[in-house]
Structure 1
Amino acid sequence: MQTLLKLFSKIKTFINMNNCDKLDIIKAFIYMGYFRAFILFIPFNKLRKRMGKIKVESPDEVEQTDYIKAKRMASIINIVAPKTPWESKCLVQALTAQKMLKKQGISTTLYLGVKKDENNQMIAHAWTRCGNYFVTGGSNRHGYAVVAKFAS
């Protein structure tokens, strides 16, 4: 019963949102599913071609309106990612942010990094930057060596 009440509460919250937010939440959900499937079933070389210009970075500064849109996108991705029935970890989130901001004409850079954990195992991380704002994954980027970057 408690779960059902939570579900109705979330549905009510969604219904009370403005239409622009609803649409972007739905788009983010769809893109996250698309990119998750792409990561699972398509070779990375094909995905890499969709990530933008390799070894290129977007500008360090963007217009204030672009920062506002990037922060809004970060909020939407943070809302949607934990609620997908599939894993929507850093790469899925970074690709989604990059795609949705590109559709709005906002340039971003997607970074891929690696480091070794305490067990000497290689771990990877992805994050997206717009201007000097990290849209996704930026708070966890420290300690990772950037192995690739893609500008959109």
Structure 2
Amino acid sequence: MTSAWIKFLRQSLFIQCWAIPTWLLLGLSKLAIFRLSFRKLAPRLGILQAKGYWIPLISEKQRLRAKQISKLVQGIAPYTPWESNCFPQAITARFLLGLYGIPGALYFGLCRDAGQIKAHAWVCSGSVRVTGGYSFNQFTVVGAYLFTLKMS
């Protein structure tokens, strides 16, 4: 058995069960990004926060599940044959958190680096940085979508 399989088999049952569906969700997220205009995609991300940005509080049980989802999405993303950068990861994490009824926020940010503008997307739920790391200190938030209910 290869070391990758051994590493996979040492993961929690949650990660083992969700590995293939998450791989597929990353692909569907990437496809949605390319096929849908942002105007059509945005309502599925949550409620646009027009003023101020905040992250909803979550219970300890939700925090533990959000950490599992974080480990899952970030662990599967490198194994996709397409580039699963921050945006598909954020959409996938948002979907999985919504599926479990865990509130959170999906952020979009911009920064200037060596004369170029860089964009980034990340998801936070309570104190958990689900995807994209802690990006508030590097990127200026230009959009935030709050989600609290299961995806429709």
Same fold (TM over 0.5): yes
Give the CA deviation at 1:151.
1.0
Q: Which residue of 2 aligns with 1:138?
A: 133
Q: 1:89 aligns with which of 79, 82, 85?
A: 85
Q: Which residue of 2 aligns with 1:147?
A: 142
Q: Secondary structure at the match of 2:130?
A: strand
Distance across 1 between alignment mates of 2:78 and 2:120: 17
Q: Which residue of 1 aligns with 2:103?
A: 107
Distance across 2 between alignment mates of 1:38 and 1:27: 16
Give the CA deviation at 1:19.
4.3
**Residue 42 in 1 paired to residue 36 in 2?**
yes
Greater Rg over alpha carbons, structure? 1
Contact 2:55-2:124 within 8 A present in 1 as well: no
Is the alpha carbon distance of 1:13 and 1:134 closer, same or farther for their aligned partners in structure 2, counting shifts above 3 Å?
A: closer
CA offsets, 1:23-77, max 9 Å, x none? 2112211110001011122211111121011117665421011110111111111
Q: 1:128 aligns with which of 118, 123, 128?
A: 123
RMSD across aligned positions (CA): 2.0
Q: Secondary structure at the match of 2:134?
A: helix
Is the alpha carbon distance of 1:59 and 1:16 closer, same or farther for their aligned partners in structure 2, counting shifts above 3 Å?
A: closer
Number of residue equivalences: 145
- Identity, % of aligned pairs? 30
Structure with greater helix share of residues: 1
Distance across 2 between alignment mates of 1:17 and 1:126: 26
Distance across 2 between alignment mates of 1:99 and 1:29: 13
Is the alpha carbon distance of 1:12 and 1:140 closer, same or farther for their aligned partners in structure 2, counting shifts above 3 Å?
A: same
Contact 2:22-2:76 within 8 A present in 1 as well: yes
Distance across 2 between alignment mates of 1:141 and 1:118: 19
Distance across 2 between alignment mates of 1:22 and 1:64: 22
Contact 2:26-2:84 within 8 A present in 1 as well: yes
Distance across 2 between alignment mates of 1:19 and 1:65: 17
The one-letter code sitting in structure 1 at the alignment partner of 2:4 is K
